Chain A
Amino acid sequence: DGGITQSPKYLFRKEGQNVTLSCEQNLNHDAMYWYRQDPGQGLRLIYYSQIVNDFQKGDIAEGYSVSREKKESFPLTVTSAQKNPTAFYLCASSILGQGSPQHFGDGTRLSIL
Chain B
Amino acid sequence: AQRVTQPEKLLSVFKGAPVELKCNYSYSGSPELFWYVQYSRQRLQLLLRHISRESIKGFTADLNKGETSFHLKKPFAQEEDSAMYYCALLTGGGNKLTFGTGTQLKVEL
Contacts and interface: CB of A to CB of B under 8 A. Distances in A.
B69 interface: no
Q: How large is the interface on B (under 10, 10 to 19, 20 to 34, 35 or more residues)?
A: 20 to 34
10 contacts: A45-B98, A48-B95, A98-B90, A98-B93, A101-B46, A102-B46, A102-B97, A103-B43, A104-B45, A106-B43
Contact of B86 (A43, A50, A92, A96): A43
A108 B62 CA distance: 34
| Chain A, interface residues (CB within 8 Å), range | 20 to 34
Nearest to A40: B101
Closest 6 A-B residue pairs measured CB to CB? A101-B46, A42-B101, A43-B99, A104-B44, A42-B99, A104-B43
Contact of B97 (A40, A41, A45): A45
Nearest to A56: B94
Interface in B1-40: 4, 6, 9, 32, 34
Contacts of B9: 40
B15 to A, nearest CB: 27
B94 A48 contact: yes
A42 B95 CA distance: 18
A25 interface: no
A104 B90 CA distance: 16
Given A50-B95, A99-B95, 17 more contacts: A41-B101, A42-B86, A42-B99, A42-B101, A48-B96, A56-B94, A90-B44, A98-B32, A98-B95, A99-B32, A102-B95, A102-B97, A103-B43, A103-B45, A104-B45, A105-B43, A106-B43
